[in-house]
């Protein structure tokens, strides 16, 4: 009991998310016991991979403050997938696919970073603009249809699993989160991100290269969207110009649910990871139970408010 209390004080978000997840699983076990099996589990992790990568990038951008936000993540994923496949169709060696995804995603993120830091535009506006551009171009280039021709070796990876764990989850999502957690909590770069996220003026006064760090984080966020595009290609077998739809909203929800403060400087990526798993489990369960989409969105919103409330309460006590 005292351990639980301690966890509540240190990681209220993580605890609430874990409790909600247990509650959710119990509800499924009660009402839909037949879907409670390893295939569903694997499926959840498979669906979670794209959202997890994108949400990690979103969280880093928000954490660094300066009203940081990236609304273009969905457009980035769609456009990166489309451009990469177009390059392969045009004859580029298929071995370049992973690198190309990362490079294009990073380039699109870098564009955001430059517009935000060098030209001083408001991140919300910049990334809303690039969101329209990226997703518009993806749609225009394909006329709305998917581009097939993903190399088969990548499908082996994208659809494969090790035991019950999908390979993209094992080889990309887990390492990415572990690396982010290590950098944030154990290195000076992490201290700088938290410092500039909380109090940018003081971070500048002590000589932290705030603009450079921020550009780098937008670029890194873009690269993570690029990896999400890679996962989508290797999983679905084609580049779909609408693959990124709604990712900006879902990644924002995951970041907020996961305890990343919208003003920056507070939060941990473990919370974001837990939030992604919870969100995808919830969506899967609702899909299985035949909830309509409107209701699904409503439930996610309700969840967001509940977790924020729990966070508030725990802060009043601490």
Partner 1 sequence: MALVTARNVTKRFGALTALQGVDLDIRKGEVLALLGDNGAGKSTFIKILAGAHSQSEGELRIEGRPVSFSSPRDAAEAGVATIYQELALSENLSIAENVFLGREITRRVLGVPFLRSRAMRERVAELLEELDAHISDPAAPVGSLSGGQRQAVAICRALNLNAKLVIMDEPTAALAVAETRKVLALTRRLAERGCAVLLISHNISDVFEVADRIVVFRRGRKIAERERRATDPEEIVSFITGAHPDVRALEQANL
Task: Phi first, then psi: give them for residue 179, nearest 5 degrees.
Answer: -65, -45
Between strands 165-166 and 161-162, the pairing is antiparallel
Q: How far is the CB of 52 from partner 1 (least distance, A)?
A: 22
- In angstroms and rounded to an integer, the radius of gyration of the C-alpha atoms of the chain is 20
Q: How far is the CB of 202 from partner 1 (least distance, A)?
A: 4
Closest to 108 in 3D by CA, of 126, 90, 85, 121: 126
Under the binding rule (CB under 8 A), the answer on residue 266 touching partner 1 is yes
- Return the H-helix or E-strand segment holding 161: strand 161-162
Under the binding rule (CB under 8 A), the answer on residue 259 touching partner 1 is no
Straight-line distance from the first to the last Cα atom of the chain, in angstroms, rounded to the nearest whole number: 18
Stretch binding partner 1 (CB under 8 A), from 103-111, 158-166, 183-191, 292-300: 183-191
CA atoms of 185 and 206, how far apart (whole Å): 20
Stretch binding partner 1 (CB under 8 A), from 2-10, 185-193, 228-236, 277-285: 185-193
Under the binding rule (CB under 8 A), the answer on residue 189 touching partner 1 is yes
Under the binding rule (CB under 8 A), the answer on residue 37 touching partner 1 is no
Stretch binding partner 1 (CB under 8 A), from 48-56, 72-80, 170-178, 186-194: 186-194
Under the binding rule (CB under 8 A), the answer on residue 10 touching partner 1 is no
Nearest 5°: the CA angle 168, 236, 157 is 35
Under the binding rule (CB under 8 A), the answer on residue 207 touching partner 1 is yes
Nearer to partner 1 (CB atom), residue 159 or residue 191 = 191
Figure out which of the listed residues 75, 221, 265, 271 binds partner 1, where binding follows CB under 8 A.
265
Got the DSSP string for 189-243? HHHHHHHHHH-HHHHHHTT--HHHHHHHHHHHHHHHHHHHHHHHHHHHSEE-TTT
Figure out which of the listed residues 195, 223, 234, 239 binds partner 1, where binding follows CB under 8 A.
195
Stretch binding partner 1 (CB under 8 A), from 9-17, 85-93, 204-212, 302-310: 204-212
Helices 247-257, 293-317: inter-axial angle, 10-degree rounding? 30
Instruction: Find how far residue 219's CA is from the centre of its chain.
Output: 14
Nearer to partner 1 (CB atom), residue 50 or residue 272 = 272
* Interaction site with partner 1 (CB under 8 A): 183, 186-189, 191-192, 194-195, 197-199, 201-208, 265-266
């Amino acid at each position: 009991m005292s351990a639980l209390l301690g966890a509540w004080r240190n990681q209220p978000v993580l605890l609430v998310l874990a409790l909600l997840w247990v509650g959710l699983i119990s509800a499924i076990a009660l009402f839909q016991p037949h879907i409670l099996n390893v295939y569903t589990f694997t499926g959840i992790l498979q669906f979670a991979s794209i959202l997890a990568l994108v949400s990690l990038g979103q969280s880093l951008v928000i954490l660094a403050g300066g009203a940081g936000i990236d609304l273009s993540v969905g457009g980035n994923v769609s456009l990166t997938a489309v451009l990469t496949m177009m390059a392969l169709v045009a004859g580029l060696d298929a071995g370049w696919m992973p690198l190309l995804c990362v490079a294009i995603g990073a380039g699109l993120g870098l564009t955001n970073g430059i517009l935000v830091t060098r030209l001083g535009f408001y991140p919300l506006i910049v990334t809303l603009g690039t969101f329209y551009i990226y997703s518009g171009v993806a749609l225009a280039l394909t006329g709305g249809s998917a581009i097939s021709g993903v190399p088969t070796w990548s499908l082996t990876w994208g659809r494969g699993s090790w035991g019950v764990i999908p390979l993209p989850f094992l080889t990309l999502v887990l390492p990415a989160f572990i690396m982010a957690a290590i950098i944030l909590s154990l290195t000076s770069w992490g201290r700088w991100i938290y410092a500039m996220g909380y109090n940018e003026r003081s971070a500048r006064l002590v000589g932290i290269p705030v603009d450079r760090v921020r550009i780098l984080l937008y670029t890194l966020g873009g690269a993570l969207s690029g990896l999400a595009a890679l996962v989508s290609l290797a999983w679905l077998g084609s580049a779909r110009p609408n693959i990124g739809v709604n990712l900006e909203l879902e990644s924002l929800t995951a970041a907020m649910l996961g305890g990343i403060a919208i003003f920056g400087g507070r939060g941990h990526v473990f919370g974001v990871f837990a939030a992604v798993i919870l969100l995808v489990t919830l969506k899967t369960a609702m899909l299985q139970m035949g909830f309509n989409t409107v209701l699904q969105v409503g439930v996610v919103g309700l969840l967001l408010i509940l977790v924020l409330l729990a966070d508030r309460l725990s802060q009043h006590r601490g």
